[in-house]
Structure 1
Amino acid sequence: MKKILILGVAPVQAEAIEKLNDMGYETFAIAMKKDGPGADAAQHFAEINIIDEAAVSEYIRENDINAVYSVGSDLAMPVANKLSEELGLPHFVSYETAYACNHKDDMRNRTKGISGAVPFEITDEINHQTAIEYPVFVKPTDGQGQRGISLVESEEELPAAIAKAVEHSREGAAIIERYIEGYEISVNGYVVDGQLQFTLVSMRETWPQYPGLIHKHVIDPEIDYPMASIESAIQAHLETLHIDNGPIYAQVKVMHDEAFIIEITPRFDGCHMHKLIQYYNEDDLLEKTFKHLLEDEQPIFTNEEKVNPFVLEFMCETPNQKIDYTQFISPKGTVESYRYYNQGDTIRPVNGVYDKVGFFIYPLKKEEN
């Protein structure tokens, strides 16, 4: 029986661990603390900081681990791929690629000028004056999960936004990006030998009072997306970043039918989209991914002749207070729901503004669009 180590124990990692359990693998998980459902879902758990490469490497050797992987975490992917390279374990992309996708400055520098690239500047100076026309987004160069992000409308607001981004950056730097008007989408895809073999677009609905923070993902096959531009932009990024195999997730803005890549990463998203996709067209992307990674079995995808429009809606609340789930009402027809906490637990700050505390999945009703 192969032994698989998952880095992290949050709900998204717990889903991967549970899938591996169902597939008959022996599961291991590590995290700095036993503070997520993945710790109990795994057959073996140890308290190890996932970015402590020496400690993780020792754990892999001591337990004869056959593969190390993660989902939903840019922080984990560089470690997983670096150690996989060093220890001769299976992996989809190189450490260099995983690192670039976890560092917005590196990714933007590598993809500058290609199809779908967004104009940007990088600074660690609080009083930096941008040449990019307002409004702009200001982000940590190496952040994820919407931490430290601000939408800036004017020059007067910029210093505070840069300071906020720098504070949330391990590298102490901010990236300033052109704000792309238009609608926002997510693209979940799968790459085999450098080519997109699966592409699914979902509409991102964000909270109006918190720009960029996700409220809903909507999969509706009746929406007419500019697929040629979307796939061209993603393929250009795949080739430039050398993402040759495995799952990919991209956050994309569409302006005048032209796609712009906001983020792209060689992993599953952190929004449970694989669940929504399975309800939509029955494709089990987690299972296909693990068969590809662990058994070298190339995935085969549906032709989407039979699809069911679905919505994934997040429950969100202000962090650093006790969660009260009685305030949330399940949408009609809910087929699955999940709570990140027990009733009355204190909400941990992730983005620090309006954090996810759970989700509902339910069929799309046209009056909602």
Structure 2
Amino acid sequence: MKKLLVLGASRLQIPILKKAKEMGIYTIAVDWDSLAPGKSEADEFHQISTNDVKKLHLFAKELMIDGIITNSDFPMRTVSVISRELRLNAISPISALLTTNKLLLREVLHESGITGPKFAKVSSISDVFFKSEELGFPFILKPVDSSASRGVYLIQNHQGIEYAYEKAIQYAKNKILIAEEYISGREFSVESITYENNTDIIAITEKITSGPPNFVETGHIIPANITLSEGESINELIRSSINALGINNAITHAEVKVNPEGCFIIEIGPRLGGDYISTDLVPLATGYDLVENAVRMAMNYEMRSFPKLNRAACIGFMVAPPGILQKIEGLPSEASPELVRMELFVKEGQSINSLRSSLDRLGYILVEGSSNEEVKNKIENLSAGIKFHVTELNGG
């Protein structure tokens, strides 16, 4: 039986583990967390850090694996090194480095003439004050090595710099931040696959966020409400970015903004899109199984073609003010014909944080339909009656 090594056993990796097992592949998962939720989905589990390249290289060689994969950002560097050493199918170490460091990513894209925000490296509060004169207000401050919107802050004026810096630096592993010009406009994510240096754009997703200061994603819709011209511009932007970064043999998730001045690349990474975009929204709306072809690519199997659908899908995330969750009311019935799936991440009596990252969301509702408008209406109808009764921590 063929063996696939999966770096990580978090929620993000579960769709990969399940799909590989469906395909008759023996799955081996590793994670630093012995209680990782994906542990039970793997045929074999080992408690090893996904960033321990030396140990994992020896481990993979001993097991004689046939493929290696991850759906997390930083373990992609480990995947690239091990795949190179064992002659497996994955992106190159240089591409993995460029796409997991926001500063290097921005520098390469800028040098390649690809439209994006103005930016600057900062490593102290004085750096931020100095660069604010060049970037202008508002601007974004974020770690070069974080994910899930952690440590991302919009700074509106000089008074907001110190607070944003002190918060953002807590999420920076190497204590380096990047300050970026704030690009206004509509937000989209793009899922694509590059195999043997040929890129196919699979889906463009319309994004809904909490807005400033943290821009946490609260919903996604496929297909995006865009014009033909906007779609063509986005596709060209993505292909140019993938080429500039040397990405090959990878699924790619990118984030872009569109305004009257054009299309701007915000982020791009060689992994499946999170927030159930790749795993649920894309197959529901387009019929394309990105997870299966990601596994096929890692195993060096032939890519599979899928019957094309022209439908729509939407996910809406539940949020509430911070405090102690006392009661939840008005959840839709799981038997509702409008509902594909619903999941809660919290229980009554649990403490709820302020909405600063995607980890602070309380659950989600997933629907499908025949159009963008239909699925948006379904989400609104299903969400309308949900009430989270929260007692503020200060007793107010």
In the superposition, the TM-score normalised over structure 2's length comes to: 0.84
Q: Does 1:11 align with 2:11?
A: yes
How far 1:198 sits from its partner (Å)?
Answer: 2.7
Partner of 1:110: 108
Letter in structure 1 aligned against 2:286 = N
- Match of 2:361, SS? strand
For residues 219-298 of structure 1, the aligned pairs below 5 Å read 219-220=222-223, 223-224=226-227, 226-256=230-260, 258-274=262-278, 275-298=280-303
Of 357, 364, 373, 1:366 maps to 373
Moved more, 261-270 or 49-58: 49-58
Of 193, 197, 215, 2:196 maps to 193
Letter in structure 2 aligned against 1:267 = R
Preserved CA contact (<8 Å) 2:249 2:297? no
For residues 159-198 of structure 1, the aligned pairs below 5 Å read 159-198=162-201
2:363, 2:326 → 1: CA distance? 12
2:358, 2:301 → 1: CA distance? 42
Preserved CA contact (<8 Å) 1:145 1:351? no
Partner of 1:127: 126
1:221, 1:349 → 2: CA distance? 28
Letter in structure 2 aligned against 1:297 = E
Letter in structure 2 aligned against 1:62 = E
How far 1:153 sits from its partner (Å)?
Answer: 0.5
Moved more, 14-23 or 205-214: 205-214
Count of residue pairs the alignment pairs up: 364
Letter in structure 2 aligned against 1:366 = E
Moved more, 105-114 or 343-352: 343-352
2:351, 2:59 → 1: CA distance? 31
| CA spacing shift, 1:179–1:210, aligned 2, 3 Å | closer
2:154, 2:281 → 1: CA distance? 29
Question: For 1:6-30, what per-residue CA distance to the aligned partner results, in whole angstroms no more than 9, with x for missing partners?
Answer: 1111212011101111111111111
- Match of 1:181, SS? coil
| CA spacing shift, 1:330–1:206, aligned 2, 3 Å | farther
How far 1:90 sits from its partner (Å)?
Answer: 2.2
2:352, 2:51 → 1: CA distance? 24
2:342, 2:199 → 1: CA distance? 31
Moved more, 356-365 or 236-245: 356-365
Partner of 1:329: 331
- Match of 2:179, SS? strand
2:355, 2:36 → 1: CA distance? 14
Question: For 1:40-94, what per-residue CA distance to the aligned partner results, in whole angstroms no more than 9, with x for missing partners?
Answer: 11111111111111222232233222222111x1121111111111222221x10
- Match of 1:237, SS? helix
Preserved CA contact (<8 Å) 1:11 1:340? no
Preserved CA contact (<8 Å) 2:6 2:68? yes
Of 89, 95, 98, 1:97 maps to 95
- Match of 2:281, SS? helix
1:159, 1:74 → 2: CA distance? 28
| CA spacing shift, 1:147–1:286, aligned 2, 3 Å | same
| CA spacing shift, 1:210–1:179, aligned 2, 3 Å | closer
- Match of 1:65, SS? coil
How far 1:345 sits from its partner (Å)?
Answer: 6.7
Partner of 1:31: 31
Letter in structure 1 aligned against 2:170 = E
Partner of 2:386: none
1:341, 1:69 → 2: CA distance? 30
1:339, 1:101 → 2: CA distance? 32
Letter in structure 1 aligned against 2:284 = Y
Instruction: Extract unaligned runs of 5+ from structure 1.
Output: none
1:245, 1:32 → 2: CA distance? 27
Question: For 1:209-259, what per-residue CA distance to the aligned partner results, in whole angstroms no more than 9, with x for missing partners?
Answer: 654200000113654260222122111111110012321000111111611
Letter in structure 2 aligned against 1:118 = P
Preserved CA contact (<8 Å) 1:315 1:328? no
- Match of 2:285, SS? helix
| CA spacing shift, 1:82–1:351, aligned 2, 3 Å | farther
In the superposition, the TM-score normalised over structure 1's length comes to: 0.89
- Match of 1:326, SS? strand
- Match of 1:117, SS? coil
Letter in structure 2 aligned against 1:309 = A
2:330, 2:118 → 1: CA distance? 39
2:248, 2:61 → 1: CA distance? 27
For residues 25-104 of structure 1, the aligned pairs below 5 Å read 25-71=25-71, 73-91=72-90, 93-104=91-102
Question: For 1:302-355, what per-residue CA distance to the aligned partner results, in whole angstroms no more than 9, with x for missing partners?
Answer: 5x4x32211012234678x77778357249611123345677677799966862
Preserved CA contact (<8 Å) 2:272 2:290? no
How far 1:37 sits from its partner (Å)?
Answer: 2.1
| CA spacing shift, 1:159–1:55, aligned 2, 3 Å | same
- Residue identity (%): 24
Q: Does 1:356 align with 2:361?
A: yes
Letter in structure 1 aligned against 2:66 = N
Letter in structure 2 aligned against 1:106 = L
